[in-house]
Amino acid sequence: MRTFEGRAMGSPLRLSVPATTDAEAGWRAVLDEFELSEEAMSRFRETSELTRLNRLAGKTDSVVVSGRLRMALAAAERARRVTGGRFEPRVLTALDRVGYRGARLPWVAATPPSRWSGAVVRRTGCAGLTIDHPIDLGGIGKGLAVRWATRRLERLGLSDFLLEAGGDLMTRGAAPDAGEWRIGIEDPFGAPDPKAVIAMDPAGAAVATSSIRVHQWRSDGRLVHHLIDPATGEPGGAGLQAVTVAGPDPAWAEVWSKSLFLGGADAIGDEARSRGLAAWWVDDSGTLGMTPAARPMTAWVAGEG
| H or E element in which residue 218 lies | strand 216-219
What is the dihedral sign for C-alpha 72, 137, 271, 170?
Answer: positive
DSSP bridge partners of 15? 4, 163
121-146: average pLDDT: 86
* Domains of the chain, earliest start first: 49-136 (1.10.3980), 180-301 (3.10.520.10)
pLDDT in tens, 78-127: 999 999 999 999 999 889 889 998 998 887 666 666 667 778 887 765 66
Q: What pLDDT was estimated at residue 125?
A: 59
In whole angstroms, how far apart are CA 228 and each of 20, 207, 210? 43, 21, 12
CA distances for 72 relative to 75, 120, 128, 200, angstroms: 5, 11, 15, 26
Q: Are strands 234-235 and 168-172 parallel, antiparallel or unpaired?
A: unpaired
Please report the pLDDT score of residue 145 as a whole number. 98
The alpha-carbon radius of gyration of the chain (Å, integer) is 19
Question: How far is it, in rounded angstroms, from Cα 95 to Cα 7?
Answer: 22
What's phi and psi for 49, nearest 5 deg? -60, -40
pLDDT band at 61 (very low <50, low <70, confident <90, very high): confident
Task: Please tell me the distance from the alpha carbon of residue 206 to that of residue 188, in angstroms, as a whole number.
Answer: 20
Is residue 119 a contact partner of residue 77, using CB atoms and an 8 Å limit? yes
Q: Tell me: the pLDDT tens digits for 156-169?
A: 999 999 999 998 99
* pLDDT class of 18 with cuts at 50, 70, 90: confident
Q: What is the mean pLDDT of residues 49-57?
A: 93
Tens-place pLDDT, residues 188-200: 999 999 999 999 9
Phi-psi region of 173 (alpha: psi -120 to 50; beta: other; left: phi over 0): left
**pLDDT number for residue 305:** 61
- 3-class secondary-structure state, position 142: helix
How many residues are listed for the chain in this entry? 305
Q: What per-residue confidence (pLDDT) applies to 217?
A: 85
b/e per residue, 175-213, with b = 16+ CB within 10 A?
beeeebbebebbbbeeeeebbbbbbbebebbbbbbbbbb
Q: CA-CA distance, 145 to 41, in Å (whole number)?
A: 10
